Amino acid sequence: MRTLAETGLSFLDLVAVREGGTIAQALSLALRTAQHAESLGFTRYWLAEHHNMPGIASSATAVLIGHIAGGTHRIRVGSGGVMLPNHAPLVVAEAFGTLAELYPGRIDLGLGRAPGTDPHTLRALRRDRVEREEDFPRDVEELQRLLAPAQPGQRLVAIPGAGSEVPIWLLGSSLFSARLAGQRGLPYAFASHFAPALLHEALAVYRSSFQPSPRCERPRVIVGVPVIAAASDDEANWLASSVEQRIYGILTGRRGRLQPPVEDFRAQLDDHARRALDDFLACAVFGGPQRVREGLARHLEATQADEFMVVTDVFDPELRLRSLSLTAAAMERRYR
């Protein structure tokens, strides 16, 4: 059985815009966080595509990946993910092929099939295109072909892109992408940081349907985990009220910027809202060093994940960096 020290540790950044702060500050903090994660030995740093959300600044995901990769040296940088229905596969192949040429061996391409936005923005992104269930598998296949070495007579070639073979990960919070990733022999990342309900069923489907491929000989799994590590359990729970305020805003249709922590936020909510928060954060690990270590160990025993991808939305930038340090220590990472 894998130990925490043998389990990969990575970071997913939504590039939160803080109350009273600016987008420029959020982008600067993303780079600083990536540099800190790299110094702690994190495996990869992913950024998520979202649109028309006032508290998230990662909409131009490929551009931001280039910014982060350019300011780091070893850590892998990628998308967690690019929402493929929003883009033509050729455009994605050219963008990530360019990134792969600029930062060889360091770029990941995580793909999701959700829109990552609201219906109005969806229409603005896709114009008149209507997405069908069969489109996502077809687009993934086309993208794989565009990133593979060009074949004689191939009429459509991604330049850059062809031959880059940027690693593709399928992302999901349901069984659809789990089965598709298994059938295609692709690595898989489950979004249990916001939709944990089907985590264990999805991993079982992925592993049971897995067919080895040249790029992935065995199932490889990343599990998303919301983590806030602090000096004590009480402090971590207080810091987590920023996350809870953000989630409550999502649940009530009032999205906004990341808010500072408040005392007894849950006490202000009714039972229905508290249950909704619990469901959303079922995989969360908030606490002091011991609780964080025990929580991650439980997740590892339950999922046998190859890697944890933590999401750490702490309002104070310095305390966010401290949380990463404490998480790395809980995973027995050594500073580099």
302-325 tens-digit pLDDT: 999 999 999 999 999 999 999 999
| Strand-pair partners of 228 | 286
Q: Is residue 133 part of a domain?
A: yes
pLDDT at 118 over 90: no
CA 203 – CA 307 distance, rounded (Å): 13
Secondary structure element (H or E) that encloses residue 266, with its range = none
Q: What is the pLDDT of residues 238-285, one digit of tens each?
A: 999 999 999 999 989 888 999 999 999 999 999 999 999 999 999 999
Total structural domains in the chain?
A: 1
CA 208 – CA 6 distance, rounded (Å): 23
Q: Confirm whether pTM is higher than 0.85.
A: yes
What DSSP character marks residue 114? Answer: S
Q: Is residue 335 part of a domain?
A: no
Task: Considering only the C-alpha atoms of the chain, give the largest distance between any 2 of them, rounded to a whole number of Å.
Answer: 66
| Strand-pair partners of 311 | 226
Give the residue from 79, 53, 64, 29 showing the smallest Cα distance to 222. Answer: 79
Q: Is residue 75 part of a domain?
A: yes
Q: What is the pLDDT of residue 336?
A: 41
Q: Is residue 336 part of a domain?
A: no
Give the residue from 134, 168, 171 showing the smallest Cα distance to 148. Answer: 168
Q: Is residue 232 part of a domain?
A: yes
pLDDT at 334 over 60: no
CA 5 – CA 285 distance, rounded (Å): 17
Q: Is residue 250 part of a domain?
A: yes
Q: Is residue 9 part of a domain?
A: yes
Q: Is 272 helix (H, G, I), strand (E, B) or coil?
A: helix
What CATH number is given to the structural domain containing 202? 3.20.20.30
Give the residue from 248, 192, 198, 194 showing the smallest Cα distance to 224. Answer: 192
Q: What is the mean pLDDT of the chain?
A: 94
Please give the residue range of the domain that contains residue 187. Answer: 4-330
Q: Is residue 307 part of a domain?
A: yes
pLDDT at 120 over 70: no
Token pair belonging to 188: 């898989």
